[in-house]
Amino acid sequence: MADSSATEASTRRRRAAGRSASLLPVNGQPEAAFLGSAPANVRGGRGQAKRDRSLETARSDCHRTQESLLSSASGYNNYRGILNWCVVMLVLSNARLFLENLLRYGILVDPIQVISLFLHDPYSWPALCLVIVENMFILVAVYTERQLSKGSFSERVGFLIHCTNMAIMITFPAAVVLLVPSITPVGGASALSLYTILFLKLYSYKDVNRWCRELSTIKVKKLARSLSYIYYFIFAPTLCYELNFPRSPKIRMAFLIRRLFEMLFFTQLLVALTQQWMVPIIQSSMKPLEDMDLSRMTERLLRLAVPNHLLWLMFFYWFFHSSMNFTAELLRFGDRQFYNDWWNSETVTYFWQNWNIPVHKWCLRHFYKPLLRKGFSKIVSQSAVFLLSAFFHEYLLSVPLRMFRLWAFMGMMAQLPLAWLVGRFLRGNYGNAAVWISLIIGQPFAVLMYVHDYYVLHYRQEAE
């Protein structure tokens, strides 16, 4: 370790010299830079004595026993440059793919088409109506809490009302999406996601209020009544209700505008890349999938993996960094931990615990720990969490697509054995690589499954 830091220090010094180097004396000491690797010799002057000294140092300086940086023995580990390399490589190879794609398909980007994903008929906005109806459920929850805090509802009654409220929150929108033909898959999925989020938020709301009553703290009564506060919670980028959220002192305008710009930019980019890059690949992979031509299927899967993964990364940044920070900044919501360093995760478990902190916090606080308290074992509780997550994944995909294939469900449940295998057999960077692979390969696989089934379904219908 000391060794490595020493190496790094020296290399940093050299690089510093290199940085200040240039071909014009204008900036920095080119000599110091150019003679970086033998600074002792810089003094090598014209006089004999001087030359001798410089020569002595030269000889002592020219070679010395040392390991190559890439030898494990050197303890060197500064690969900062690789990050830039990977960015450059990705940009270039994708620039190439983009050009090839353009030469083959021409321009497929069509922003108007996006609207058609949300609306069949511009005069009916079923998804939007669904979203507006959400307020009902909020009001019911608040009303119940008020009665409970006043004591005019018994705990049991309150519990029953909350349960029915939530049960309806899950079933009603699903029924609407399934039965109303004018709802598009995308519109339906958006509406259901919003309902799911609200479900989790209100669940947390009722739990926390109950806990507070158990603690019989005074301020609960006041807060439980304030509608403004619960609406703040509904819009705040968190799923865990609290009586006093940490607030940031002021809205940083520059920050807000940067995030807003990112949001707009990535929205455009996501749409464009999907239309120009994803769709052609998916369409071209339908035939191999139907013929079950394995080698071509694999080729298509891997071809899809890259854009799919990049889009997912962009989506992650767009949603968890740009959008959530934007909302938080707007609401002066203090806690910006929307994700953790999942990119370093060496176990599947660590990934699921850290890529989506709001959901993780909720599961921990309102599902996993209550289960533990009820005396369930850790494995059972953890599996239950994955089961819940699997249910919601399936719920958010199958219902809008109006087909029940359980791919997403199985995909999530497959995380359990995967997590066990990785945690059991792979450590450090191998574990990390395994997590990445499962992400990069797993997703497009599920996507292909659904899209394929969806296409087949619709082709068949057209055929009939």
Residue with tokens 């619709």: 458
- DSSP symbol at 333: B
Give the nearer residue to a second copy in terms of CB position, either 248 or 275: 248
Give the nearer residue to a second copy in terms of CB position, either 71 or 154: 71
Least Cβ distance, residue 446 to a second copy (angstroms)? 17
| Cα atoms found within 13 Å of the Cα of residue 331, Cβ hemisphere only | 22
Q: Say if residues 275 and 109 touch (Cβ distance below 8 Å).
A: yes
Q: Does residue 367 bind a second copy (CB under 8 A)?
A: no
* Binding positions for a second copy, 278-337, rule CB under 8 A: 295-296, 298-299, 302-303, 305-306, 309, 317, 320-321, 324-325, 334-337
Of the candidate residues 345, 356, 389, 398, the single one contacting a second copy (CB under 8 A): 345
Q: Does residue 429 bind a second copy (CB under 8 A)?
A: yes
Q: Which amino acid is at 299?
A: E
Least Cβ distance, residue 270 to a second copy (angstroms)? 18
- What contacts 6, CB < 8 A, 6 or more positions away? none
Least Cβ distance, residue 438 to a second copy (angstroms)? 10
Query: Which is catalytic among the residues 120, 162, 393, 452?
Result: 393
- DSSP symbol at 42: G
Q: Does residue 1 bind a second copy (CB under 8 A)?
A: no
Give the nearer residue to a second copy in terms of CB position, either 41 or 114: 41
Least Cβ distance, residue 117 to a second copy (angstroms)? 28
H or E element that contains 254: helix 253-273
* Binding positions for a second copy, 245-284, rule CB under 8 A: 245-248, 255
Catalytic residue flag (residue 360): no
Stretch that binds a second copy, among 43-51, 158-166, 177-185, 186-194 (CB under 8 A): 43-51
Q: Does residue 420 bind a second copy (CB under 8 A)?
A: yes
Q: Does residue 382 bind a second copy (CB under 8 A)?
A: yes
Q: Say if residues 144 and 158 touch (Cβ distance below 8 Å).
A: yes
Site track for a second copy across 389-418, x = CB under 8 A? ---------------------------x--
What tokens were used for 43? 């003094």
What does the DSSP assignment read for 80-117? HHHHHHHHHHHHHHHHHHHHHHHHHH-----HHHHHHH
Least Cβ distance, residue 381 to a second copy (angstroms)? 8
Give the nearer residue to a second copy in terms of CB position, either 54 or 398: 54
* Binding positions for a second copy, 2-41, rule CB under 8 A: 11, 14-15, 18-19, 21-28, 30-31, 33-38, 41
Q: Does residue 462 bind a second copy (CB under 8 A)?
A: no
What are residue 183's DSSP bridge partners? 119
Q: What is the dihedral of CA 216, 219, 221, 222, to 10 degrees?
A: 180
The closest of 157, 158, 174, 162 to 138, measured between CA atoms, is 162
Q: Tell me how crowded residue 142 is: count the other CB atoms within 10 A of its CB.
A: 20
Residue with tokens 């899809």: 304
Least Cβ distance, residue 197 to a second copy (angstroms)? 17
Give the nearer residue to a second copy in terms of CB position, either 48 or 461: 48
The span from the first CA to the last CA of the chain, in angstroms, equals 70
Q: Say if residues 273 and 311 touch (Cβ distance below 8 Å).
A: yes
The closest of 344, 269, 246 to 114, measured between CA atoms, is 269
In angstroms, the CA 392 to CA 409 distance is 8
Site track for a second copy across 118-157, x = CB under 8 A? ----------------------------------------
Q: Which amino acid is at 313?
A: L
* Binding positions for a second copy, 193-252, rule CB under 8 A: 208, 211, 214-215, 238, 240, 242-243, 245-248
Q: Burial code of 54-69, b = ≥16 C-beta within 10 A, e = fewer?
A: beebeeeeeeeeeeee
Least Cβ distance, residue 313 to a second copy (angstroms)? 9
- What contacts 25, CB < 8 A, 6 or more positions away? none
Stretch that binds a second copy, among 92-100, 136-144, 157-165, 403-411 (CB under 8 A): 92-100
Give the nearer residue to a second copy in terms of CB position, either 67 or 404: 67
- Active-site residues: which are they? 393
